[in-house]
Structure 1
Amino acid sequence: MPGKKVAEDQRRLQIIEAAFTVASRENLDHLTIRKVADEANLSTGLVFFHFKSKDALLIALLDWLLDGLFEMWEAPKNLPPRERLLLLLSRDLRDAYYDNQAATKLEVFFAFWTMGLHHPEIKEHIRQAIERAKQVFFPTVCELLQNEPERFPGVTAEGLVTVILGIAEGCALEALLTDGKVDIEQILTAQRALLSRSG
Structure 2
Amino acid sequence: MVGIKKPKIERRDDILAAAKVVALRGGLETVSARTVAAEANLSNGLVYFYFESKDGLLHALLARLLTTTLDGPESGFGGDLASDVALFQMVATELEGLHTQRDEVDLLFQFYFFRQSADFRDQLNTGLRLYADTMEPITSRFAQQHGLAPEAFRSTLVALIQGAAIDVVRRPEEFSAEQLLQVVAALASTAPALGRRQ
Q: What TM-score do the two structures reach when normalised by structure 1?
A: 0.89
Q: 1:174 and 1:185, CA in 2 relative to 1: closer, same or farther beyond 3 A? A: same
Q: How far apart, in 2, do the equivalents of 1:175 and 1:103 lie? A: 7
Larger mean Cα displacement after TM superposition, 189-198 or 17-26 = 189-198
Shift of 1:52: 0.8
* Contact 2:143 2:153 (C-alpha < 8 Å) held by counterparts: no
2:132 aligned residue: 134
- 1:192 matched to 2:185: yes
State the percentage of identical aligned residues: 27
Q: Deviations over 1:22-77 (max 9, x none)?
A: 01111111221100000000111111111011001001111111112211313231
Q: How far apart, in 1, do the equivalents of 2:5 and 2:187 lie? A: 54
2:106 aligned residue: 107
Letter in 1 for 2:126: Q
Q: How far apart, in 1, do the equivalents of 2:150 and 2:70 lie? A: 19
2:157 aligned residue: 164
Alignment RMSD (CA, Å):
1.6
Q: Unaligned stretches of 5+ in structure 1?
A: 150-154
Q: How does 1:52-131 map to 2 (within 5 A)?
A: 52-74=52-74, 75-97=77-99, 99=100, 102-116=101-115, 118-131=116-129
Q: 1:107 and 1:180, CA in 2 relative to 1: closer, same or farther beyond 3 A? A: farther
Letter in 2 for 1:121: D
Q: How far apart, in 2, do the equivalents of 1:103 and 1:141 lie? A: 25
Larger mean Cα displacement after TM superposition, 11-20 or 138-147 = 138-147
Aligned residue pairs: how many? 190
2:195 aligned residue: none
Q: What TM-score do the two structures reach when normalised by structure 2?
A: 0.89
